[in-house]
Chains A and B, each alone.
Chain A
Amino acid sequence: MASLISLRGLHFSYASGLDVLKGVDFELNAGDRVALTGSNGAGKSTLLRLINGLETPNSGEIHAFGAVRRQEKDFRDVRVRAGLVFQDPDDQLFCPTVAEDLAFGPLNLGKSSEEVGEIVGRTLELLRLEHLADRITHKLSGGQKRLVALATVMALEPEVLLLDEPTNDLDRDTKQHLISLLTELPQAMIIVSHNHHFLNRVATRQVELSDGVLMEQAA
């Protein structure tokens, strides 16, 4: 079976001229839960942003879901199918209530109100967040915000999840909750994190970004 996402010889440098990725090769297959590690500033978040087309590589190729993706319009479809959960949930949650935030994605995809209502209900149930549906997003606790941010992406029913530091400011119980959720989900995912305990529990593969290249780590 062809891989969901494959990156070939990806080069990227910041506007400041600093080369951060120097020929990254990577394959994501169905069912993979890949831990992406590396020191601060190694370019882990940048790699996720490249996959989603939020940054453009200097050279190299991005294959996603059976096609080469080059321009902005190629990536519109990728962004929905490879859902990116941002580092700061306050960036992701901008609607007044949780239910509305979950509805934002599906509504953009042109779904009808009934369908959207159903998706919102189903997603909240899946992540066991039904009790938060009518809460005001900015009044949630840090941990709740993080789970709701994940839910807003799950509401798109993506095939791949890209998680950027999902365990930041989570207490132990919420972290446990997140671990059991992620291991139950069928989606392939790439998880950027510094939390090794968390990664060991969730990931099926581990890759490390260092000196601009990606190295597969022995399990």
Chain B
Amino acid sequence: MTQVLGEVSQSWTVKNDQSRSEAFLKSLDPRVRLVSCVSFAFLISAMHDLGALTLALGIGLGLSLSSRLPLWTTIRKVIVVDSFIVVLMLTLPFTMPGETLFSVWGWDASKEGLYRAAEVGLKANAILFSLMGLVGIMEPSVLGHALYRLKVPAKLVHLFLFTVRYIDVFYKEYKTMRMAMKARGFVPRTNIHTLRSIGYLIGMMLVRSLERSDRIMEAMKCRGFDGRFHILNNMKIETRDRIFAGCAAAVILSLMAVEYF
């Protein structure tokens, strides 16, 4: 999780001297960014018009570019998502019935299938880029607070925050144990010994996380925890947030216009 969300807050072009557009996107209230992004994503997932989707992808790319995402991490993330899309591109034309466009070794590729694959690819990338540009640059803790302020149930928010906090600890524990196994000459092979050892490793991870959660609970009790969470926050909607929200609404409405009229 921290690898996915955490490091994005660093820019790849300018280190300390933030560019203006980046500073602008970051200075916006996280709630405004989150709501705009989610409504944008909902709209995109309901659209079918390729022209409107291409426009949406352009907007997503624009947001990603102006938030100056770190180049290589971004490319890696995009590749992960798009490798799935490529599989779709390769299979959909041959599995959807419809007008035959061309055929490969007796397999007919349908026009409808190709169309659908293009649609899914455009949708996925448009959502991905706008998500990275608007939400990806947030620290996970900020995202948690924004969700809380948007009245997402406190239990879910804390589940999210605890996950962000401890996934790193568990990952480190996993790495340490793997290292210890390697240090005693363990090499994974296809045999019972490997399966058993990996089983022990996973089992030990579960036991350790259970024990850790007990200790965290005790540490919380020692600080007067009584089952209720209190969140400190200081988020404020300002003029620039209103302007951005207005622009987002205008973009969403015009996309709807392109799609439906």
A interface residues with partner B (beta carbon < 8 Å): 49, 52, 54, 76, 79-80, 83-84, 86, 88, 90-92, 94-97, 99-100, 103-105, 107-109, 113, 116, 136-138, 152-153, 156
In the complex, residue of chain B having the shortest beta-carbon distance to the beta carbon of A152 = B223
Query: Which residues of chain A have C-beta atoms less than 8 A from B222's C-beta?
Result: 52, 54, 79-80, 83-84, 153
- Determine whether B161 belongs to the interface, using a CB cutoff of 8 Å to chain A: yes
**Interchain CA distance A46-B176 in the complex, whole Å:** 27
A contacts with B: majority SS: helix
Interface size range of chain B in the complex: 20 to 34
B interface residues with partner A (beta carbon < 8 Å): 2, 6, 139-141, 144, 161-162, 164-166, 168-169, 212, 215-216, 218-226, 228, 230-232
Q: Are B232 and A99 in contact (CB under 8 A)?
A: yes
Query: Which residues of chain A have C-beta atoms less than 8 A from B232's C-beta?
Result: 99-100, 103, 107, 113, 116
Q: Are A54 and B165 in contact (CB under 8 A)?
A: no
**Interchain CA distance A105-B225 in the complex, whole Å:** 7
Q: Are B219 and A107 in contact (CB under 8 A)?
A: no
Q: Are B223 and A96 in contact (CB under 8 A)?
A: no
Q: Are B223 and A136 in contact (CB under 8 A)?
A: no
In the complex, residue of chain A having the shortest beta-carbon distance to the beta carbon of B212 = A91
Q: Are A138 and B230 in contact (CB under 8 A)?
A: no
Q: Are A108 and B141 in contact (CB under 8 A)?
A: no
Query: Which residues of chain B have C-beta atoms less than 8 A from A99's C-beta?
Result: 232
Question: In angstroms, how far is the closest chain A Cβ from the Cβ of B221?
Answer: 6
Q: Are B169 and A97 in contact (CB under 8 A)?
A: no
In the complex, residue of chain A having the shortest beta-carbon distance to the beta carbon of B211 = A91
Given contacts A54-B222, A94-B165, 19 further A-B contacts (CB under 8 A): A76-B224, A79-B222, A80-B224, A84-B222, A91-B218, A91-B219, A94-B216, A94-B219, A94-B220, A96-B161, A96-B164, A103-B230, A103-B232, A104-B223, A104-B225, A105-B223, A108-B228, A152-B223, A153-B223
Query: Which residues of chain A have C-beta atoms less than 8 A from B218's C-beta?
Result: 49, 54, 86, 91
Question: In angstroms, how far is the closest chain B Cβ from the Cβ of A162?
Answer: 9
**Interchain CA distance A35-B15 in the complex, whole Å:** 48
Q: Are A108 and B165 in contact (CB under 8 A)?
A: no
**Interchain CA distance A137-B161 in the complex, whole Å:** 12
Q: Which of A54, A138, A153, A156 contacts B221 (CB 8 A)?
A: A54
